[in-house]
Structure 1
């Protein structure tokens, strides 16, 4: 275990807490909304502010990196069959968010055997306005009852910024002049816009970003009373299936029952997506899935999960999913397929007796470790083609894809995170996964390093919602964890790689 004295770390954090929060409030006032072109200047100002603050913290290298400079590869969408004359015009695609700068910082350890650790986070935020339901201006931070309210307080500026005080506390408590690890930071500027340029940035800068482990501070814990470490995130791919039948809408009395109906076939596809046990019925979909171990299932079951309370947050009335798995297993560790939208034909008031010429089906698939995005997409293509009758032409267009990532429970670097959090919180640390998706898999794939998650946010923080906040005491626990982590990883050295 690291010899960093706990009392010295805590004393330093307490002495510098007020100044740290003043700086964070200043950063939160910058409305760095990456999805809105009107805020492009604010996103850049946020990056420049952070780079300057990291230099002030002591990082000898701080740089603002431009994105969107690599030629984007063509879309992976492969139409199965393109109709000669679509009956309805295509809906224009939503323009991508403008490229936004990232921030890179580096602080070499000076120790020749020190491992290299990269911290990932993002400085852009979701849109927010007072009329959305905020009690106060979302970009004028307010402290109430031990909570800091502002857009970005938890997602993700607060969780990025705790590393600045954490590394200073680490140095002060150990007497070092540089961290015990070679410390790098990469703080993205367009995560809230889907990270469109992030994989390319990683490839372009891989030589500068090389590391033995990645720490992602863009996640959370189970609750205020149950500190946890996330061990993995699911991947994601989605598609739109456009179905074409007659060249125009036709009379259902004259032609219905004698020609194929695109809307009916869209409904058939949706209905065939799952079997009677609510497993995805696409052949080959589960190929490569890494199953939960008995120990992982036991750890999930130990969490204080209140299913009734969870259902209320889901605004639903009953659970339903793959047979043989608990709710937490279904949303964290099992692949899924969902119908996101279905439409076609007449949608106006009253009836209109037609066979519609077109229909659409939107599907999304959450992927778990061991699944290959390209193979899943091909399985979907094959499944659709096999189920459609003659006379129905179709196109399948896939959107962006995010790969899943998973760190084994016994990985040395994960154990360093667990020990550091345990010291800060003074209690055992449990384990979760994330049901959603993010850029962690890109970090893992491009840099070839394990990804660990260190976050202190809790569900009540309201990410993306009005009145987003961060619990200040938990924020300080994040600072303390970071202060312990670098020494622990250094002591475990290359065994953590």
Structure 2
């Protein structure tokens, strides 16, 4: 039986198991659901044991548990592949906007609605089916590559203990390539691979002037106004071409290759449809780049909020004592979050006049960007595997969001390959999250072919 036939024969069984898992409300951000996160880890461990993985363990952390599984190849020289995903899910608020119960998996046509169906339980589970399909196709007792799974339980809460977990288990997690299944592809009829994710860092800036609000008639125009200084700081973040104007911000930026930009340009992108999704009437950003390149390939500075002074009803003629703003920076490969934080501090210091005191509070160390090597054997094998499953050429995308992928690449010293079948329309993190069931089966088929293709090569 070939891999596709095996998956078709066991598709209903796979979906039944997935529904059982989706019924567990493993919301890592909600302390009242932490026991459910632990129950989710135990469910996955039991399922992987039933699948045939000889080694399955629940790894505790100072927070919530991860699941580790391993199935060694018969050939000790075969490559080792680590699959990363997560079993925790986002909160479901606002509950009233859900058309179905978030933890009662519901089929509607080809869609399966439930929190976590796309992000990320469905995309984790198809790997177990893919391993069984690869074994059925080969008739072997072990997969053609050593397959390891690491499925964390805190991704939706910032992966706060994940880096230390990997460092503590570096030898157990050693691999030749890391496969990420926590992203999306372009469309059901346009298979694609994510080849990079932006990083992020954020800051809250507070400017303090006089010790109290001052009468603008008595003092206005004669003392520095914190809101005026803040508006200058914020307006100076970008130049006339909408490039970030902070000195040194682009130092080290790794530009996307001509090949990647060409494959992105071939995606069937409709800007009018995209604008409708964005609830905007115009696209605007850094000159010289397309809309997709702006959200995937370029770093950004976004003003998330600003406040200060009188915001209530009626007038209040004052020089306010303080002003505040929140800013987030999306980063690309070659930019280090901590270095960007230094550049932001220098920018604020250089543009804060006498009489104003600036305080900056960063939201942690930030998240580094990551990107795949387009020339790597592993990426070529994954692209070929997805192409076989879908029967079409696989294009490239990136994602504007951020995750722990850069830590995986750095700590395990392994190249990243993204194999995922979620869609942007799956409403991840929003009410009415869903996944397309036929695409999950295509994901399992892609995984089965990937193990086969990687097993045929060396030097991944």
Is the contact made by 1:122 and 1:190 (CA closer than 8 Å) also made in structure 2?
yes
Choose from 41, 47, 68 the match for 2:35. Answer: 41
SS of 2:358's partner is: strand
Answer yes or no: is 1:18 the counterpart of 2:3.
no
**Structure-2 separation of matches of 1:122 and 1:243:** 40
Contact in 2 for aligned 1:130/1:136 (Cα 8 Å): no
Q: Distance in 2 between matches of 1:293 and 1:414?
A: 15
Please list the CA deviations of residues 243-288 of structure 1 after superposition, one character each: whole Å capped at 9, or x if unmatched.
1111111111111111111111111111000000000000000001
2:327 match: 363
* Aligned counterpart for 1:489 among listed residues 426, 433, 454: 454
Determine the structure 1 residue equivalent to 2:195: 231
Contact 1:130 1:138 in 2 (8 A): no
1:493 deviates by 2.0
**Contact 1:232-1:406 within 8 A present in 2 as well:** yes
Instruction: Name the counterpart of 1:190.
Output: 154
- Give the drift of 1:130: 7.6
Residues 129, 137 of structure 1: 8 Å contact kept: no
Indicate conservation of the 8 Å contact 2:199/2:402, yes or no: yes
2:419 aligns to what? 454
Does the alignment pair 1:435 with 2:429?
no
Aligned-residue Cα RMSD (Å) equals: 1.1
Cα distance in 2 for residues equivalent to 1:435 and 1:130: 24
- Paired position in structure 2 for 1:313: 277
Q: Aligned equivalents of 2:93 and 2:333: distance in 1?
A: 38
Structure 1: where are the runs of 5+ without partners?
1-6, 69-98
1:464 pairs with 2:436: no
Aligned to 1:87: none
The 5-angstrom pairing of residues 211-222 of structure 1 reads 211-222=175-186
Match of 1:404 in 2: 369
Name the counterpart of 2:108: 144
Matches of 2:79 and 2:458 in 1, distance apart?
Answer: 6
Q: Decide which of 213, 216, 224 is 1:260's aligned counterpart.
A: 224
Instruction: Report the Cα distance in structure 2 between the residues aligned to 1:130 and 1:151, rounded to whole angstroms.
Output: 12
Q: Which of 297, 319, 322 is matched with 2:286 structurally?
A: 322
Counterparts of residues 282-297 of structure 1 (less than 5 Å): 282-297=246-261
For 1:129 and 1:339, the matched residues in 2 are separated by 25
Q: Deviations over 1:2-61 (max 9, x none)?
A: xxxxx6111111221111111110000000011111101100000011011111111111
- Tell me by how many angstroms 1:459 deviates: 1.6
In structure 2, the residue corresponding to 1:196 is in which secondary structure? Answer: coil
In the TM superposition, residue 204 of structure 1 has moved relative to its aligned partner by: 1.7
1:93 matched residue in structure 2: none
Which SS does the other structure have where 1:350 is aligned?
coil
SS at match of 2:27: coil
Please state whether the residue corresponding to 1:493 is helix, strand or coil.
Answer: coil
- Would you say the 8 A contact 1:236–1:402 is kept in 2? yes
Whole-Å separation in 2 of the counterparts to 1:493 and 1:161? 27
Partner of 1:174: 138
Structure 1 residue 202, shift from structure 2 partner? 1.5
Whole-Å separation in 1 of the counterparts to 2:171 and 2:212: 55
TM-score (norm 2): 0.98
* Cα deviation, residue 181, structure 1: 1.0
Return the alpha-carbon distance in structure 1 between the equivalents of residues 35 and 122 of structure 2.
Answer: 21
Among candidates 340, 346, 354, match of residue 310 of structure 2: 346
Whole-Å separation in 1 of the counterparts to 2:8 and 2:95: 36
2:347 corresponds in structure 1 to 383
Aligned to 1:50: 44
Judge conservation of contact 1:129–1:138 (CA < 8 Å) in 2: no
1:110 CA displacement? 2.6
The separation in 2 between residues aligned to 1:399 and 1:133, in whole angstroms, is 30
Q: What are the superposed Cα offsets for residues 419-471 of structure 1, whole Å, 9 maximum, x if unpaired?
A: 10011001111010111111111101111111111100112211112221111
Residues 280-338 of structure 1: CA deviation (Å, up to 9, x unaligned): 00000000111122222211111100000001111111011111111111100011111
C-alpha distance in structure 1 between counterparts of 2:23 and 2:66, whole Å: 18
For 1:291 and 1:8, locate their aligned partners in 2 and report how far apart those are by CA, in whole Å: 41
What is the aligned partner in structure 1 of residue 174 from structure 2? Answer: 210
Residue 413 of structure 1, CA deviation:
0.6
SS in 2 for 1:285: coil
Matched, 1:158 2:122: yes
Q: 2:444 corresponds to which residue?
A: 479
